Amino acid sequence: MTVFEGTFHRDPSTLRFALVIGRFNDLVTGKLLSGCQDCLKRHGINIDPQGTQVDYFWVPGSFELPMVARRVAISGRYNAIICLGAVIRGDTPHFDYVAAEAAKGVAAASFQTGIPIVFGVLTTDTLQQALERAGIKSNLGWNYALNALEMASLMREIHRELPAPTYPYLDSPTADEPPSLPVSPE
Ligand code: INI
């Protein structure tokens, strides 16, 4: 049998990435973005927005990340998408709603589209904790970029080596016997 795993170096110049970044708490998300760019650059990716390898999409906050990530994913243009956000707990339950929707939405968008979408959203109790993870102690933006490189490479390998999925493969009892699809009214 075969072992499949992503690499961080094979054909980097042929990969395309989309970065979706929340403006909310941009003191933190800007630093995550820098870490992310540094990692991509050091792995041979041209991070110039005028180039062909990385596009940048800014959204108001983490709540908007899934919608834009999903739309970007179904363009078919990118090997992986990285969502960057920072949700910091305040005095109200707002944090829980934004963090939960961002996490669920990013997972759903990735699952629905089959494109790797990295969940690069910090969820912390304080701004200090967020900053520590965005450059003061370490910069998780770097790790998120590594995750994207690994998943882009792994999925490319899987697409190359495994048979194409047979639609509607999730529901079909066997590939030869697809379930009947509902007929839409005239
Ligand atoms: N968005 C964040 O990215 N982080 C936060 O901490 C945050 N808080 O706490 O409110 C936040 N809110 C904005 C939200 O993401 C949406 O942009 C807004 O609700 C409009 O849909």
pLDDT tens per residue across span 64-83 = 999 999 999 999 999 999 99
The three-class DSSP label of residue 21 is strand
**pLDDT of amino acid 70:** 96
Pick the atom of ligand 1 nearest to 23's CA.
Answer: 3
Pocket of ligand 1 (CB under 6 A): 22, 24-25, 60-64, 85-88, 90, 94-95, 98
Q: Could you give the residue numbers annotated as active site?
A: 94
Give every CB contact of residue 24 below 8 A, 6+ residues apart in sequence.
Answer: 60, 61, 62, 85, 86
Please report the domains of the chain, with CATH numbers, ordered by start residue. 14-161 (3.40.50.960)
Spatial separation of the C-alpha atoms in residues 144 and 2, rounded to whole Å: 27
pLDDT band with cut points at 50, 70 and 90 for residue 9: confident
DSSP 57-98: EEESSGGGHHHHHHHHHTTT--SEEEEEEEEE--SSTHHHHH
User: What's the number of CA atoms in the CB half-sphere (13 Å) around residue 108?
Assistant: 11
The answer to whether 32 touches 86, Cβ cutoff 8 Å, is yes
The answer to whether 53 touches 92, Cβ cutoff 8 Å, is no
For ligand 1, atom 4: residue with the closest CA: 87
Question: Mean pLDDT: which of 3-7, 8-12, 28-32, 158-162 is highest?
Answer: 28-32
Could you read off the pLDDT of 95-105 as tens digits, one per residue?
A: 999 999 999 99
**pLDDT of amino acid 165:** 74
H/E element holding 124?
A: strand 117-124
**pLDDT of amino acid 79:** 96
25, 32, 63, best to mutate for ligand 1 pocket (most atoms within 8 Å of CB) = 63
Distance between first and last Cα of the chain? 49
Residues listed for the chain: 186
Give every CB contact of residue 177 below 8 A, 6+ residues apart in sequence.
Answer: none
pLDDT band with cut points at 50, 70 and 90 for residue 139: very high
**pLDDT of amino acid 143:** 98
Q: What is the largest CA-CA distance in the chain?
A: 61
The three-class DSSP label of residue 43 is coil
**pLDDT of amino acid 168:** 55
Could you read off the pLDDT of 127-136 as tens digits, one per residue?
A: 999 999 999 9
The answer to whether 40 touches 17, Cβ cutoff 8 Å, is yes
Could you read off the pLDDT of 13-72 as tens digits, one per residue?
A: 899 999 999 999 999 999 999 999 999 999 999 999 999 999 999 999 999 999 999 999
The answer to whether 106 touches 121, Cβ cutoff 8 Å, is yes
What is the model's pTM? 0.90
CA of 142 to the centre of ligand 1 (A): 23
Could you read off the pLDDT of 153-178 as tens digits, one per residue?
A: 999 999 999 987 766 554 444 444 44
